[in-house]
């Protein structure tokens, strides 16, 4: 007798090869229209699914999980970040939570480096001027930016992505500094010739460029607060490809408008998909629509991790990418 296949409900469109394999292996419901699930659809999903495959845009909180059916035993997040999930509530209900770490490291680091290159050199401003027909020819003092080589880069969060950013930045001649919960191992420190700052305040006051690469947790919400943004040098730049909630976005907008910070490159926002209107139109800000991890290869690898996690769980084993609340 054939065993009953797991009921898997996917909340967004995934790459075709991933959806095909999910259909082959499980009793899978796909989101053909890619319309984000509203509250009613999420409630219906958790009542029927054995496995829910949400993305970072779905809020899976205690209120939703309280309405889940007893059959829901696995939430297989399509994404590395888990700040949209109430992990504690899930674990208390006996639900295993997995994510897709590691595969987005290079993709996110590439976009981070692109912003580090683009904002000080004012590339986004140049594009806008050219498109507006305002390029009248080269001039010695026109569109002057800042040289990267020799500048100090302060990385907030020296995990996989932070280290990947550091390797790229070092190749461009930047000096690597970082703030982390603890120093990285000696081998990484020596490879990157990196300087560790236990005090974030002290690091912020001395850097030419600041890159936010830490996850969003209760401890990192508004880590770059209005007070800390006041510590940043007037000629410094801030890049954020992590989570918008790590920066007090309103305070950042005020500082940028007032010229208290030279510029910013942002791929994430505090209340996505909404963008603080005070940031729109600022010449010293480059904004991207959360595309740091958006590569074909990365999305397929994320889907492969989701499938491995579900298949391992279905076979009665611990999935390789379980999220453990104690180490968040």
| Token pair 């208290």 in the structure block, residue | 260
- In the three-class reduction of DSSP (H, G, I as helix; E, B as strand; rest coil), residue 262 is classed as coil
Dist CA 207 CA 209 (whole Å): 6
- Which among 153, 287, 150 is positioned nearest to 212, based on CA atoms? 153
Which candidate in 122, 124, 228, 290 is catalytic?
A: 290
Contact 212, 238 (CB under 8 A): yes
Dist CA 57 CA 326 (whole Å): 23
| Pairing of β 74-76 and β 51-53 | parallel
- If one counts every other C-beta atom within 10 angstroms of the C-beta of residue 117, the result is 17
Phi/psi region, residue 94 (left: phi>0; alpha: psi -120 to 50; beta: rest), is left
Q: How many Å separate Cα 319 from the centre of its chain?
A: 23
Contact 81, 307 (CB under 8 A): no
The residues, ordered by sequence, that sit 6+ positions from 297 with a Cβ below 8 Å of its Cβ are: 107
Which candidate in 243, 270, 299, 301 is catalytic?
A: 243
Which candidate in 272, 278, 304, 322 is catalytic?
A: 272
Q: Is 160 a catalytic residue?
A: no
Dist CA 103 CA 15 (whole Å): 15
Q: Is 152 a catalytic residue?
A: no
Sheet harboring 7-10: ordered strands across?
A: 27-29, 7-10, 51-53, 74-76, 96-98
Rg of the chain in Å (alpha carbons): 22
Q: Is 290 a catalytic residue?
A: yes
User: Apex CA 255: angle with CA 251 and CA 256, to 5°?
Assistant: 120
Enzyme catalytic residues: 243, 272, 290
């Amino acid at each position: 007798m054939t065993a009953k296949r797991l009921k898997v409900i996917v909340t967004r469109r995934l790459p075709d090869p991933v959806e095909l394999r999910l259909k082959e292996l499980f009793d899978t419901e796909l989101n053909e229209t890619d319309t984000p699930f509203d509250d009613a659809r999420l409630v219906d999903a958790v009542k029927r699914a054995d496995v829910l495959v949400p993305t970072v845009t779905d809020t899976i909180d205690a209120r939703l999980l309280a309405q889940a059916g007893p059959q829901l035993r696995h939430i297989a997040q399509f994404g590395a970040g888990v700040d949209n999930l109430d992990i504690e509530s899930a674990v208390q209900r006996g639900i295993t939570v997995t994510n897709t770490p590691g595969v987005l490291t290079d993709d996110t680091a590439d976009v981070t480096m692109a912003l580090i290159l683009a904002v000080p050199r004012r590339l986004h401003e140049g594009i806008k001027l050219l498109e507006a027909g305002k390029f009248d020819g080269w001039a010695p003092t026109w569109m002057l930016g800042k040289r990267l080589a020799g500048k100090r880069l302060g990385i907030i969060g020296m995990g996989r992505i932070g280290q990947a950013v550091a390797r790229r930045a070092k190749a461009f001649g930047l000096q690597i500094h970082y703030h982390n919960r603890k120093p990285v191992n000696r081998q990484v420190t020596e490879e990157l010739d990196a300087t560790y700052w236990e005090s974030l305040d002290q690091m912020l006051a001395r850097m030419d460029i600041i890159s936010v690469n830490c996850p969003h947790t209760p401890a990192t919400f508004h880590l770059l607060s209005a007070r800390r943004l006041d510590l940043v040098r007037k000629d410094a730049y801030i890049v954020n490809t992590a989570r918008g909630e790590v920066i007090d976005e309103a305070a950042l907008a005020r500082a940028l408008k007032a010229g208290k910070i030279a510029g910013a490159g942002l791929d994430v926002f505090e209340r996505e998909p909404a963008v603080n209107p005070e940031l729109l139109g600022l010449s010293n800000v480059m904004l991207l629509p959360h595309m740091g991890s958006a590569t074909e290869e990365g999305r397929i690898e994320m889907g492969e991790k989701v499938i491995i996690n579900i298949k391992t769980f279905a076979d009665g084993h611990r999935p390789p990418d379980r999220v453990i609340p104690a180490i968040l």
